C-alpha cells in the first residue's frame, strides 16, 4: 500500500515540522540521515530505495517536501523499521543515537569543491534571494492566518456548537476504532509550485465522508469531531489545515476518513455542516465573512507568488550544485545502502 504525506508545512506560524514524530529514531531499527546541498540527489536516492522496497512487495510511506512538492523529504519502510530522510535545513536533523540507531549519509563529500568556489558569489546571492522570498511568503501566510481566524470567529457566532457536538458524538460512536493516541500528518502543502493536496487517504480509506459547508462551517464541525475522538480516547490520524495547524482538514478513524470539502454539495457520502447554522445570526456576520474570504484569497496569492519566486531562485541555485557533483559516487553509496537495507533484512 502506498501512503503519501507531507511531514512539514508552511503555515501562519512559519515552517512547522513533524520530523521528530514521523522519524523517531528510537522507534526504528535504523534511520539514515542524508546531508548535502540542493541538487545533490537526496530525493533521487530516497525514491530509488522506495521503489526497490515496493518491487519487493513492501509497503512504503513517502513524505514529500512541503516547499518543492515534487521532491521527497523522507521515506519509511514500516515492515523493516527503516527510514531515510533529508536532514538539511529547514528540517535539520542530527543523530541522537549515532551508530546505534542512525547513520549520516553525506552527499556533500561528492562535491567538486573547486567548482563551487568558482561560483561562490552566485551561490551566496541566490541563497540570500531564496531566504528573502521565503521571508515575504511567511509574512503573507501570517496575515492569511489572522484573516482566516477572523472568518472562523465570525462564523462561530452563527454556529450551533452544542447541536454539532451531539451530531459528532453520534457519528463517532458508530465507528469501530481501537483505543489509542492521535498522530499527525499533512495531506496539503503551500509550496513553490502552488497548492498541493495528496489523495493518499481517500484512496486507501475503507470509507470517505466529506464534511461540506462554506464560510468555514465545515472546519468548525471538524473541531467537534476531533473533540469527540480525544474524549473517547480513540486511535486516529489528524490532518491539520495547512494554513492554521490548530484546525483540522481531515480525520482518519478506524478506516473512515472525514475530510473537509470546499462546497455545499457532493454526490458522495457527506455531512452538511450548514445544518448547524443559525440563519439569522449568519445574516448579521455574512458581510464580514465575505470580506475575510476576499482578503484571504489576495493574501494566498501573495504567498504563492513569493514562493514561486523562491522556487525559481532555488532551481537556478541547484544548477551550480548539480554541475559540481560526482553522481557516480552517489550511485555507489546508493547500492551500498540498498545492500544494507534489503539483503541484510533477508538474512
Q: What is the pLDDT of residues 86-106, one digit of tens each?
A: 999 888 888 999 989 999 999
Q: What backbone torsions phi and psi does residue 255 show, to the nearest 5 degrees? A: 90, -5
With vertex at residue 134, the alpha carbon angle to CA 131 and CA 138, rounded to the nearest 5 degrees, is 135
Which three cell numbers mark 336? 551500498
**Contact (Cβ atoms closer than 8 angstroms) between residue 307 and residue 134:** yes
pLDDT of amino acid 346: 59
pLDDT of amino acid 345: 62
Low-confidence spans in the chain with pLDDT less than 50: none
pLDDT of amino acid 26: 92
Q: How far apart (Å, rounded) are the C-alpha atoms in residues 245 and 243?
A: 6
pLDDT of amino acid 287: 97
pLDDT of amino acid 2: 81
Amino acid at each position: 500500500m502506498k501512503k503519501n504525506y507531507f511531514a512539514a508545512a508552511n503555515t501562519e506560524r512559519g515552517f512547522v515540522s513533524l520530523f521528530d514524530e514521523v522519524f523517531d529514531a528510537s522507534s526504528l531499527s535504523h534511520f539514515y540521515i542524508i546531508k548535502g546541498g540542493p541538487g545533490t540527489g537526496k530525493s533521487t536516492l530516497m525514491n530509488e530505495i522506495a521503489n526497490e522496497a515496493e518491487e519487493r512487495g513492501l509497503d512504503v510511506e513517502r513524505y514529500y517536501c512541503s516547499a518543492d512538492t515534487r521532491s521527497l523529504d523522507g521515506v519509511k519502510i514500516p515492515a523493516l523499521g527503516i527510514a531515510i530522510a533529508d536532514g538539511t535545513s529547514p528540517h535539520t536533523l542530527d543523530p541522537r543515537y549515532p551508530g546505534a540507531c542512525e547513520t549520516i549519509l553525506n552527499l556533500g563529500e561528492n562535491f567538486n569543491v573547486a567548482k563551487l568556489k568558482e561560483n561562490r558569489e552566485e551561490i551566496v546571492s541566490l541563497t540570500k534571494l531564496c531566504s528573502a522570498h521565503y521571508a515575504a511568503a511567511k509574512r503573507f501566510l501570517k496575515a492569511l492566518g489572522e484573516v482566516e481566524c477572523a472568518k472562523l470567529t465570525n462564523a462561530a457566532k452563527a454556529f450551533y456548537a452544542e447541536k454539532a457536538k451531539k451530531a459528532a458524538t453520534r457519528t463517532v460512536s458508530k465507528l469501530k476504532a481501537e483505543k489509542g493516541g492521535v498522530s499527525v500528518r499533512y495531506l496539503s502543502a503551500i509550496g513553490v509550485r502552488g497548492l498541493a493536496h495528496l489523495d493518499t487517504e481517500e484512496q486507501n480509506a475503507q470509507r470517505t465522508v466529506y464534511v461540506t459547508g462554506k464560510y468555514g462551517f465545515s472546519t468548525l464541525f471538524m473541531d467537534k469531531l476531533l473533540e469527540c475522538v480525544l474524549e473517547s480516547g480513540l486511535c486516529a490520524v489528524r490532518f491539520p489545515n495547512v494554513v492554521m495547524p490548530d484546525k483540522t482538514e481531515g480525520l482518519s478513524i478506524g478506516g473512515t476518513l472525514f475530510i473537509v470539502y470546499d462546497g455545499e454539495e457532493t454526490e458522495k457520502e457527506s455531512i452538511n455542516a450548514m445544518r448547524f447554522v443559525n440563519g439569522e445570526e449568519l445574516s448579521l456576520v455574512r458581510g464580514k465573512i465575505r470580506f475575510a474570504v476576499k482578503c484571504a484569497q489576495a493574501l494566498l496569492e501573495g504567498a504563492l507568488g513569493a514562493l514561486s519566486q523562491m522556487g525559481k531562485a532555488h532551481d537556478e541555485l541547484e544548477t551550480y550544485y548539480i554541475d559540481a557533483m560526482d553522481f557516480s559516487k552517489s550511485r555507489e553509496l546508493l547500492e551500498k545502502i540498498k545492500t544494507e537495507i534489503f539483503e541484510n533484512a533477508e538474512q
